[in-house]
Amino acid sequence: MNHSIFKIISLQILIILLGFMALTSVVNAADSTKLTTGLFYIDGQSETINSDDVSALSIPLLLSVKQDKLSFGVSVAYMSIESGSLDESGLGDTIVSMGYDLTDSFTLKLKEKFSTGDENKGLSTGKNDTSVQLDYFAKMGNQTSLFTTLGYKAVGKVNGLNMQDTVYASVGTGYVYPTKTSIGVSLDYRESIFKNLDDQLGIAAFVSKPLNSTYSLTGFAGFDDTQTSSLGVSLTTKF
């Protein structure tokens, strides 16, 4: 085996192990631990296939924990994807994230997408991606909030595909009713990882309602100028 490839693989394994060790230790002493699953559908452009005609259905599983100023998360999804003659299903990529609260309003996050999905099935590009983003959240009064995100993604390049590193951004507002039901809307921009596909500018809306002190239900929908539409529902439980 090529020594440079071996070093890269070893480094990726080390990052995964350290991430899960940190995640385990934080879970044991976490201020907040959440587990989220749901059902998500997207029709249009994809982040794994160089096509603007993709339909994908996914069932994600996300574990997120927060301790003081630190936050950790790990997620993976079972996916079913269709595009032209392609019709495949299986586990997708794994995303590990770490965040640090710089202030009460600003959070710096680092995300690593590990290519655990099968690229031959269109469930992954077959390469890892690294993202860094800055989140801002502020309350405006007792019930209204403002949130923004600005991020940069270093994309793992696939030979033969015209791929690029990308930027993404979002700005939105939310409102919490006295019943604790919350609604929100955002304007989102995302540069395509494939140079031949259009960048995406769209809007998204969500509504979230606590079912009890443990469970909450969230629904969302989005649409952008590439005619890509998304729809989903998620269930979150707190520990």
Q: Is residue 24 pLDDT above 70, yes or no?
A: no
**CATH 2.40.160.40 for the 3-238 domain, yes or no:** yes
3-state secondary structure of 192: coil
Span 114-135, pLDDT tens digits? 999 999 999 999 999 999 999 9
The token pair at 114 is: 């590990």
The token pair at 62 is: 């996300």
Tell me the C-alpha distance between 120 and 81, whole Å: 12
Q: Is residue 17 pLDDT above 60, yes or no?
A: no
For residue 4, the model assigns a pLDDT of: 44
Strands 54-67, 94-101: pairing is: unpaired
Region 170-190: mean pLDDT is: 97
Q: Is residue 40 pLDDT above 50, yes or no?
A: yes
Q: Are 234 and 38 in contact (CB under 8 A)?
A: yes
The token pair at 164 is: 């690029």
Span 184-217, pLDDT tens digits? 999 999 999 999 999 999 999 999 999 999 999 9
For residue 15, the model assigns a pLDDT of: 52
Q: Is residue 6 pLDDT above 50, yes or no?
A: no
3-state secondary structure of 161: coil
Confidence of residue 77 (pLDDT cuts 50, 70, 90): very high
21 against 108, higher pLDDT: 108
3-state secondary structure of 224: strand
Confidence of residue 5 (pLDDT cuts 50, 70, 90): very low
Span 95-111, pLDDT tens digits? 999 999 999 999 999 99
Span 219-234, pLDDT tens digits? 999 999 999 999 999 9
Q: What angle do CA 58, 60, 66 make, to 5 degrees?
A: 155
For residue 36, the model assigns a pLDDT of: 96
